[in-house]
Amino acid sequence: MEDRPQIGYSKKVMDHFMNPRNVGDIENADGIGTVGNPVCGDLMQVSIRVENDIITDIKFKTFGCGSAIATASMVTEMAKGKNIEEALKITRQDVADELEGLPPVKMHCSNLAADALHEAIKDYRAKKEGRKEAIEEPAR
């Protein structure tokens, strides 16, 4: 596979697809964001652990293509260690840029990754403020 060209995919995309970082769940997460794209069928969930407004742990699960896996992996790497405000500033384009580009037809995957992160932060804030619209983690 390494000898064949990966049309439209950077080495960074291939690395994050083949060796994704931060895969899984965080038990009793402080925030969970789940987003999906009905057009392609991709689904992504990001869970975060926050201490003193710093994202100390972040995990993802995705049902999607290689680009969805790579963008989710990258967004977790970008957000880990950042405070909530800094993490909220991570854009869809930032994710694609960090991966050294995505084919135009796969840009929606970077949308899912950034959006799932933002939804997890929104959920964290809602839980922190005690609002009932915070997403409850399903019982295991």
- Consecutive H or E run containing 63: strand 54-63
In this model, does residue 62 exceed pLDDT 80? yes
Q: Where are the domains positioned within the chain?
A: 11-127
In this model, does residue 30 exceed pLDDT 70? yes
Confidence band for 139, pLDDT divided at 50, 70 and 90: very low
Looking at the chain, list the stretches that DSSP marks H as alpha helix, in order from N- to C-terminal side: 11-18, 66-79, 84-88, 92-98, 107-128
| Sequence letter at residue 60 | F
What is the tens place of the pLDDT at every residue in 85-113? 999 999 989 998 999 988 777 766 668 89
Residue 7 confidence (pLDDT)? 64
Helices 11-18 and 66-79, packing angle to 10 deg? 90
Q: Residue 105: how many CB atoms within 10 A of its CB?
A: 10
The residues annotated as belonging to the active site are 40, 109
Q: Which CATH class is domain 11-127?
A: alpha beta
**Residue owning tokens 């839980």:** 127
Average pLDDT (38-46) is: 87
| Burial class, 109, CB count within 10 angstroms (exposed 0-12 / middle 13-18 / buried 19+) | buried
Of 19 and 110, more confident: 19
Task: Identify the three-state secondary structure at position 32.
Answer: strand
Percentage with pLDDT > 90 across the chain: 66
pTM: 0.85
CA-wise closest residue to 42 among 118, 110, 136, 134: 110
Residue 70: what are its φ and ψ, rounded to 5°? -65, -45
Average pLDDT (29-52) is: 92
Tell me the C-alpha distance between 106 and 111, whole Å: 10
Residue 103 confidence (pLDDT)? 77
In this model, does residue 1 exceed pLDDT 70? no
Of 1 and 38, more confident: 38
In this model, does residue 48 exceed pLDDT 60? yes
